[in-house]
Structure 1
Amino acid sequence: MVQPQRQRPRASSFDLDRSLNRESGFTYPPINPVTEVRLLKPSQHPSEKRLDFDFEVVPLKNLSTTKYNALSYTWGRISSASDLHTIHIANQPFLIRKNLFDFLTTSPFTDDTLFFIDALCINQFHDPERQSQVQLMTAIYRRAASVLAWLGPPPPDKLPAIQSLASASPSASPASWTPSQLDAHRYLSHHPYWTRVWVLQEILLASSVTVRCGVFDFPLRVFAGCAPSGSNWRGTPASMLTTYRLRTLLRPVPGGLDPLAGGAEVLGMGEMLSKLRSPASSKFQIQEYQSALPDTLAEIFTRYGHLECEDARDKLYGFLGLLSVEGGVG
C-alpha cells in the first residue's frame, strides 16, 4: 500500500510573506536583539529599475545621537503571493506588502536617509529576536528624529481635495476651509490607520510627527484641533488619538505689551480661537507641547481598548510602552 505523502502546512495569508522570505534564504546581518537595532538605508550601489537598500546596525545607546526616522503604518492584509512586491536588501530579494511598497516607491530617499521600519528591520522569522525588539519599540520611536505616519496613497476621487488641503496655509483656521478641503480632512481623519493598536505608542511617544498621504504631508495638529461649528471632527478616530498627548496653550508673543508676557494660558481650543479672532490677537500665538505623564493601564484600556490588532497579545504589548516615560528602557 502506497503511503500518501505528507504535505507541508500551508502558510496563512497573515504570515505568507514571512514564510516566503524564509524559504528564499534571506539572511539578516546579525545583531544583539537586546542592545542593537537595524536601520534601513538606500544602497550605495543600486541597480536600475528596482528598489535597493542596505542595513546599518546601530547600538541602542547610540540611537539618541543617530539621525533617523521611524515609519508608522499598517501592514495590510494579503490573500496570495500575487499581492506581494519585491525589493532588494543587501542584494537579496525580499517580499513586502503593498502599503509598504507604496511608501518606498512614493517617498524620496537621500543617500544619508536612515529609517526604522519594523517589517524590514526586525527579523520577522526569528521569534526570539522579534520578542526582544518589541520591547525596544518605545525607545526606538521616542528617540527617532521624526515619526512619519503613512496613510498610503489617496484614492483617485480624493486626490484633488487632499491636494487642496495640503496647499492651505498652516495658519489658516478650519473655518476658512473650502468644502473640498473639509471633505479631505474628513477622509484623512477616518482613515483605518487611526484604528490600529501599534499606532498608539508610535504616535504618542514621538517627539515629532508628520502625517503623509501619497506625496502630501500634514502636521499632526491638523487632526488634533476642533472643527468649525456644526462639525463632528472632535470625535474622529484621528482626533481621539492625537488630542490625548498633543496639548495646546496660548502664549503672548515675545516682546508684546501684555502683562502676562512670558506666561501662558492653557485653554480649550474654542476659547483659543475666540481670542485669536479678537482685535488683540496679534499679541498671542498658539504653541503645542507633548505631555510626558505616565498613564495607568486601566486608563489606557478605557481610552484605547477599542483599537484593533491581528494578534490579541499585541494589545497588551502595544500599551505597555505608555505606562512610563522611558518605557522601561534606560
Structure 2
Amino acid sequence: MIESPAVLIVNTASRRGREDFDRARESLTGLGVDLRAAHAVEDPSTLPSVVKDAIDAGARTIVLGGGDGTVSSVAPYLCETGVVLGLLPTGTANDLARTLGLPTDLIKACENVAQGKVVDVDLGVVGDDKFLNVSSIGLAVGVTKQLNPKLKKRLGALAYPVATIKAYRRFQTFSARLEFPDGDHDDVELDDLLQLAVANGRFYGGGAVVAPNAGIDDHLLDVYAIPRGTPWQRWQVARHFVSGVFTESDHVYHVTTRNVRVSTEPGQAINVDGELSARTPEVFGIVEGGLRVVVPVDASVGVADVGARQRARSH
C-alpha cells in the first residue's frame, strides 16, 4: 500500500497531455487514493521544482504521469527520501514501466498505484546525475539528437528506429578506456566503438533489453560496448538487439560491476536516460535501493535474492 498523502503530477506535454491528467485524477480519487493536490505541468522544465515543493509540503507518495524523461528528471529529488513513486506511464518508450512490470493502460496504472506493493529499486549515478534506465555514449547520443518531440508524437515508438537510421548515417566511431576502482575486472582499452552503455534497468530505447538477466534491483550495473566490426557482425548484433542476447556475443564486451570510470577519445557526450547532461571522462556508480516505487502485487521486481543473483551473474 502507498503512503498518504499523495500528490498527482502529470507532464501534460507527454503525448495525450491534459486528457491523461483529468482521467488520472478522476480514477485515483474513485479508487480512494488520498490526493492532497493535483498538478498539470505544461512546462517539463518545472517538474523538478513541482515535485520538490510537494515533498517539502509533506507528500509521502508522488503519483507521476509521464515518460522516461519525466521520471529521470525528478528521480534525484526522490532518491533516498523514503517518498514513494507511483508511475503512470504516459510517454513514448515507457522503458521504466517495462522494467517494473507496470501496465501502460492509464486506468490500470492508476489501479496499480492504489492496490500495488512498494519495493526498493536501484538508481545509477554518473557525475552529478542519476539515472534509472541507461546512460549511453556513441550512437545513442546521435539518436537522442534526432529524436525530436514532433517525431515522437507523430510516430510513437517507431520514432526510435527512424532516429537510429538517421543517426547512423552521420556517426563517427570512438575509443574508450574502462577502469574498475573495485578491482572486480581488469582495466580495458576498446577501439572503433559504435556504442558504449552503462545500464541500471532492464529495458531502454523503446523496449530493447539491456542483457538477458539485467535487473533494476540487483545492485549491479551492466556495461557493454559494441565495436563497429564487419557488416556481418553488425547484422548479428542488430538481429539480437531487442532481446539483449547480443551481449553474449564474442564481438561485444559485457561485464557487470558497481563502479566504472569511462574515458574516451575523442571526448563524448553522455546520454543520461534520454538527456545529454554529461561528458566523458566520467565515473559511473549505483545507489542500492535508492528509490521506492509501486509495482504490481505479483511483480518479481524488488523481491529477488540479491546475493544469489549477483553470484549467478558473475559466472
TM-score of the pair, normalised by structure 2? 0.28
Bigger fraction of residues in strand: 2
Rg bigger for which structure? 1
